[in-house]
Amino acid sequence: MTALSVPQQVAEAIKTAILTGEYGPRERLKGVALSERYGVSRATVHDALRILQQAGLVELLPRRGTYVRDFRGAELNEIFEIRSVLVGLAAARAAENADDAFIEKMESHVARLAELAADAGSVAQDYGRESIDAQMIIAEQAGNRNLTLLLNELTGRAIWRAVYTGEALDHTTTERRGESVAIWKEILEALRARDPQRAEALSRKLINTALQFLISRQQAVKAGAHHNEQSSKPPA
């Protein structure tokens, strides 16, 4: 395995701070402060921020500085809306093209998802990766190369990695994983029945339910932050 360069190491550290909420959406990342925090030169910080810009986590605005992208706001909704349509279409086509080998693969993945959902000690990242893998198997069975490429590109986006395989913002509770796997079991039944309409509707439900969970989580975080801010104010 190739060792990470110093800028890459700093970029990884800043990325972790962003994904865990230490640096919030639209917060300015100041080069001097980052240089002092990570014990590196300003040039190294600049290179690290360029790496994060390419990954889609920060914006470098001319004469204004570098800011954390608000990937948990409007962009999150847009990404989920697109993925909902693509995954739904893939499921419909996969149901039409389903063969025994495909159904066996899906049974294996859904069984694994059920195990992870039932295991209180499992981590959200494992469930998220398994869910994405199952979605990509459906996309491959759809028989539409461009559809698979689009979903692969979307999965590679920094925002999607943050939600599902980075610090994991979804599937963070046993209740949420249980809700998700229940939908997956319904999707499997629709695929077994070779029912494209139901497979599409349930697959879109899978993605849209995830979005609603993330929105509710965002609202809870914002409410908590507002409460802490009010509590920290000195009495009038």
Q: Are residues 99 and 174 in the same domain?
A: yes
- Starting at the earlier edge strand, list the strands of the sheet with 65-68: 28-29, 65-68, 58-61
Which of 1-5, 128-132, 200-204, 220-224 is predicted with the least confidence, judged by mean pLDDT?
220-224
- Alpha-helix runs per DSSP H in the chain: 6-19, 31-38, 42-54, 74-97, 100-118, 124-142, 145-156, 158-164, 174-192, 196-232
Q: Are residues 18 and 48 in the same domain?
A: yes
Can you give the pLDDT at residue 120? 86
Q: Are residues 101 and 137 in the same domain?
A: yes
- Give the pLDDT confidence of 80-102 residue by residue, as tens digits: 889 999 999 999 999 999 999 99
Q: Are residues 14 and 117 in the same domain?
A: no
| 216 vs 137: which has the higher pLDDT | 137
Can you give the pLDDT at residue 131? 93
pLDDT for residue 116 is more than 60: yes
- The residues, any chain, with a CB within 8 Å of residue 206's CB and separated by 6 or more, are 87, 180, 183, 184, 187
Indicate whether 195 belongs to any domain. yes
Domain interval for residue 106: 74-219
- Position of tokens 């706001």? 73
Question: Per-residue pLDDT averaged across 193-220, rounded?
Answer: 89
Q: Are 176 and 147 in contact (CB under 8 A)?
A: no
Strand partners, 58: 68
* The pTM of the whole model exceeds 0.95: no
Q: Are residues 118 and 182 in the same domain?
A: yes
Q: Are residues 43 and 109 in the same domain?
A: no
220 burial type by CB count under 10 A (0-12 exposed, 13-18 middle, 19+ buried): exposed
Query: Considering the chain, what is the average pLDDT of its residues?
Result: 85
Question: Per-residue pLDDT averaged across 15-24, rounded?
Answer: 77
Give the confidence band of 211 by pLDDT, cuts at 50, 70, 90: confident
- The residues, any chain, with a CB within 8 Å of residue 10's CB and separated by 6 or more, are 34, 38, 40, 44, 45, 48
pLDDT for residue 161 is more than 70: no
Q: Are residues 140 and 108 in the same domain?
A: yes
Q: Are residues 99 and 153 in the same domain?
A: yes
